[in-house]
Amino acid sequence: MSLITVMPSGKTVEAAEGTSLMQAISQIDGDFKHKSGDTCDGSCHLFLLEGRKGVSKVSREENEKLDMIVGVGSKSRLACQATVLGTEDIKVEVLDFASGF
């Protein structure tokens, strides 16, 4: 299990190995999962502030989607693609101000 802290609110949620960041964050903000629905469109872009080794590596599909997003940085991830490995705690920054975070 990993503890995921969502900034800027500081809300936390525990997530088991194999859980996507999308699933975990949706537990504390039900609207978050609806932003991209069933497709990966990049609307779940976030910054992974801490715990890089605690999430899966960037896949080819995720990398291609990130290449199409404005404002991507070295800490950028897509919540629908990144999964928890359970090896360390994670801190993310949700970028959409409308999410309530």
Instruction: Between 40 and 74, name the one with better pLDDT.
Output: 74
Q: Where are the domains of the chain?
A: 2-99
Picking from 13, 21, 1, 17, the residue whose alpha carbon sits closest to that of residue 85 is 17
Residue 98 predicted with pLDDT over 90 = no
According to the model, what pLDDT value does residue 43 have?
83
| CATH code for the domain defined by 2-99 | 3.10.20.30
pLDDT tens across 4-30, in order? 999 999 999 999 999 999 999 999 876
Q: What is the pTM of this model?
A: 0.86
Tell me the C-alpha distance between 54 and 4, whole Å.
Answer: 10
Between 43 and 29, residue with greater pLDDT: 43
Q: Are 90 and 3 in contact (CB under 8 A)?
A: yes
Radius of gyration of the chain (CA): 12
- Inter-CA distances, 92 with 46, 50, Å: 7, 7
